[in-house]
Structure 1
Amino acid sequence: MIVAEAVGRVLATLGVRAAFGVVGSGNFHVTNALVARGAGFVAARHEGGAATMADAYARTSGTVAVLSVHQGPGLTNAMTGLAEAAKSRTPLVVLAGEATDARSNFHIDQDAMARAVGAVPMRITSAAEAVEDTVAAFRTARHGRRTVLLNLPLDVQTEVVPWLGPLDEHPAVIASAARAAAPPDGPPYEPLYEPAAVPAEADVAALASLLAASRRPVFVAGRGARHARRELEDLAERSGALLATSAVARGLFRGSPWDLDVSGSFATPLAAELIHDADLVVGWGCALNMWTTRHGGLIGERASVAQIDLDEQALGAHRAVTLGLVGDTAATAEAVSAALGAATGPPGERRYRSPGLARRIQAEGRWRAVPYTDESGGGRIDPRTLTIALDDLLPAERTVAVDSGNFMGYPAMFLDVPDERGFCLTQAFQSIGLGLATAIGAAVARPDRLPVAALGDGGALMSAAELETVVRLGLPMVVVIYDDEAYGAEVHHFGPHGHPLGLVRFPPADLAAIARGHGFDAVTVTEPPEVAGVAGWLKGPRDRPLLVHAKVTRERPSWWLEEAFKGH
Structure 2
Amino acid sequence: MSKQTGADALIQTMINQGIKYVFGVPGAKVDRLFESLEHNNDPKTPKLIITRHEQNAAFIAAGIGRITGKPGVVATTSGPGVSNIVTPLITATAEGDPVVAISGQVPRNDIARLTHQAIASKELLSAAAKDSVEVQDPNNLSESFANAYQNSITVKAGAAFLSIPQDVLNDEVTRPVIDPLHKVHQGGMNQEVIDEIVDKIKAAKLPVILAGMRSSTNEVTEAIHNFLHKFSIPVVETFQGAGVISRDLEKNYYGRVGLFRNQIGDTILKESDLIIAVGYDPIEYEARNWNIDRHGEIINIDAVKPEITNDYQPDLIVNADIAKTLNSVSANLPEDIDLGETMHQHLADEQVKFTKTDAIPENHSDKDGIHPLAIIHALQNQVNDDTTVTVDVGSLYIWMARHFRSYKPRHLLFSNGMQTLGVALPWAIAAALERPDQPIVSVAGDGGFLFSGQDLETAVRLHLNIVQLIWDDGYYDMVRFQEIAKYGHESGVKLGHVDFVKYAESFGATGMRVERTEDLEPMLAKAFDTKGPVILHIPVDYSDNIKLASKLVDDVLN
TM-score normalised by the chain length of structure 2? 0.88
Quote the residue 1:187 is aligned against.
none
Q: How far is 1:360 from its partner?
A: 5.4
2:508 aligned with 1:508, yes or no? Answer: no
Quote the residue 2:200 is aligned against.
210
- Which of residues 21, 27, 30 in structure 1 aligns to 2:24? 21
2:56 aligned with 1:49, yes or no? Answer: yes
Q: How far is 1:83 from its partner?
A: 0.8
Alignment of 1:443-454 (within 5 A): 443-454=432-443
Identity in percent: 20
CA offsets, 1:46-74, max 9 Å, x none?
01111111111111122221111111111
- Which of residues 147, 155, 166 in structure 2 aligns to 1:154? 166
Aligned-partner Cα distance in 1 for 2:295–2:55: 44
Quote the residue 1:251 is aligned against.
243
CA offsets, 1:498-549, max 9 Å, x none?
5664521123321222122112222222321232552452474x22322111
CA offsets, 1:207-251, max 9 Å, x none?
222112112111112221223122223334444432232111211
* Higher mean C-alpha displacement, 283-292 vs 519-528: 283-292
Aligned-partner Cα distance in 1 for 2:408–2:342: 24
- Which of residues 8, 13, 24 in structure 1 aligns to 2:11? 8
2:85 aligned with 1:85, yes or no? Answer: no
CA contact (8 A) 2:69 2:97 kept: no
Quote the residue 2:214 is aligned against.
224
Aligned-partner Cα distance in 2 for 1:449–1:458: 27
Q: How far is 1:456 from its partner?
A: 0.9
Structure 1 unaligned spans of 5+: 181-193
CA offsets, 1:296-351, max 9 Å, x none?
2467611211212222244659622222221121011123334x342xx5144546
2:538 aligned with 1:550, yes or no? Answer: yes
CA contact (8 A) 1:218 1:241 kept: yes
* Higher mean C-alpha displacement, 133-142 vs 62-71: 133-142
Aligned-partner Cα distance in 1 for 2:135–2:342: 56
CA contact (8 A) 1:468 1:518 kept: yes
Alignment of 1:306-325 (within 5 A): 306-314=299-307, 319-325=312-318
Structure 2 unaligned spans of 5+: none
* Higher mean C-alpha displacement, 48-57 vs 425-434: 425-434
Aligned-partner Cα distance in 2 for 1:266–1:389: 25
Question: What is the total number of aligned residue pairs between the two structures?
Answer: 540
Quote the residue 2:182 is aligned against.
179
Shift in alpha-carbon separation, 1:139–1:502, aligned structure 2, 3 A: closer
SS of the residue 2:461 aligns to? helix
SS of the residue 1:306 aligns to? strand
Aligned-partner Cα distance in 1 for 2:310–2:168: 41
CA contact (8 A) 1:471 1:545 kept: yes
RMSD: 2.9
SS of the residue 1:129 aligns to? helix
Alignment of 1:329-348 (within 5 A): 329-338=322-331, 340-342=332-334, 346-348=336-338
Q: How far is 1:488 from its partner?
A: 0.8
CA contact (8 A) 2:501 2:535 kept: yes
4+ residue runs over 6 A deviation: none
Aligned-partner Cα distance in 2 for 1:352–1:22: 61
SS of the residue 1:112 aligns to? helix
SS of the residue 1:307 aligns to? strand
Alignment of 1:328-367 (within 5 A): 328-338=321-331, 340-342=332-334, 346-348=336-338, 350=340, 354=344, 356=345, 366=355
- Which of residues 282, 292, 317 in structure 1 aligns to 2:276? 282
TM-score normalised by the chain length of structure 1? 0.87
Shift in alpha-carbon separation, 1:430–1:446, aligned structure 2, 3 A: same
Aligned-partner Cα distance in 1 for 2:159–2:62: 9
Aligned-partner Cα distance in 2 for 1:363–1:78: 45
* Higher mean C-alpha displacement, 132-141 vs 104-113: 132-141
Quote the residue 2:225 is aligned against.
233
CA contact (8 A) 2:397 2:414 kept: no
CA offsets, 1:255-285, max 9 Å, x none?
2132324234589954444333211111111
Alignment of 1:24-35 (within 5 A): 24-34=27-37
2:55 aligned with 1:65, yes or no? Answer: no
Quote the residue 1:492 is aligned against.
481
Letter in 2 for 1:13: N
CA contact (8 A) 2:231 2:338 kept: no
SS of the residue 1:312 aligns to? coil
2:391 aligned with 1:398, yes or no? Answer: no
Aligned-partner Cα distance in 2 for 1:544–1:211: 50
Shift in alpha-carbon separation, 1:405–1:9, aligned structure 2, 3 A: same
Aligned-partner Cα distance in 2 for 1:544–1:534: 15
